[in-house]
Structure 1
Amino acid sequence: MAAASPAVLALHYQNDVLHRDGRIRVGLAADDPSRGQLIAAAGRLLAGARQNRWPILHVRIAFRPDYADLAQHLPILRRAGELGAVRDGEWGAEFLEALAPLRDSPIEHVLTHTRISAFAGTPLDQLLQLLNARRVIVAGVATHSVVESTVREAADRGLAVTVAADACAAADTAAHHASLASMRLVATVTDVAGALASDGDIA
């Protein structure tokens, strides 16, 4: 039996997170040179997945304009509300143009959530089952929040996980590297080139 293709989880590549004029820019200041490097790496990941015809699941975080669906007990999300960030229907909640899903692409899907893990409150698990995805390649911002939370939940759900580290970033470089080290307990941590070099086969 042929091995199922991996699915790529592209997390929070949104204007408020990555654009120079974004309200959050988690780990990527407007003048930070690593910002361009991250966007380029994420672009290579998406391009490689498209070339390989691997499913891409674009996950965004977005709240009602009045933030009635924002979990106030979570400081990281409460801060988004304080900044007026990622309001559904506004520019900030939209995907960064360079990393946006392709319209009418049968291999690309968009999910929206309001928590930390991409699995929380979304049909991500059901969609991965429908796609017969037994392995996921995860990348996004921020490394120590949505990425690590999603990686750990994916591993707990029986998926083999690869993290494309150069397509991830965090507010603090030390936090980014600590999170990558922690995820090595449950996932393969490599770069975009390494993630794309895999043929999707797992033992």
Structure 2
Amino acid sequence: MARELVYTGFMSLDGVVDSPGGTVEGHRSGGWVMDTEFVPEAFALKGEELADTTALLFGRRSYEAFAPIWRDSEDHAAYKDLPKYVVSTTLAADALLDGWGETTILRSADDVAKLKQTEGGAIFVHGSAELARNLAAADLIDRYNLLVFPVLLGAGKGLFDRSDRDKRSLRLRESATYSNGVAKLVYDVVD
């Protein structure tokens, strides 16, 4: 049985997933998650994911953004000893961050497909919009864990590819809405 590959992220109602906490991508609406009233139960999904994660998968830019912060974060201490994978055609091994556990560079979607066939549990993709689009195009994503925020940004990286491709159906596994307008949507990709 293949390991489950789960994309998890914060998303605006118009599908933008970049710069939820800052202005990394450079559009004027960066930091949009911080503009929403904090309601702890709206973020409970993130804690649940910690328990389910057996490996992390990143694109290069997300790895470079998350690794230095998460390595020293008490909130992400459980990730320190998990295997981590970075999908990049350009990242050199000597650019990997020291002190954050085992990290392997994968060079293609085919490498990710091979990883899914190994023993182990769920592999979670955080951020990494471009990687997520490429993995979805290769039919490798099994589930989407989304926290959708009540904001329309109009600019930024979208999670989903807009090219004409075969339809993929999703089955709602779980949903909830919160007093701050955030909606939790967990979808399984249906084969």
Larger helix percent: 1
Give TM-score scaled by structure 2 length. 0.46
Query: Which structure exhibits the higher relative contact order, with contacts defined as CA atoms closer than 8 Å and separated by 6 or more residues?
Result: 2
Larger strand percent: 2
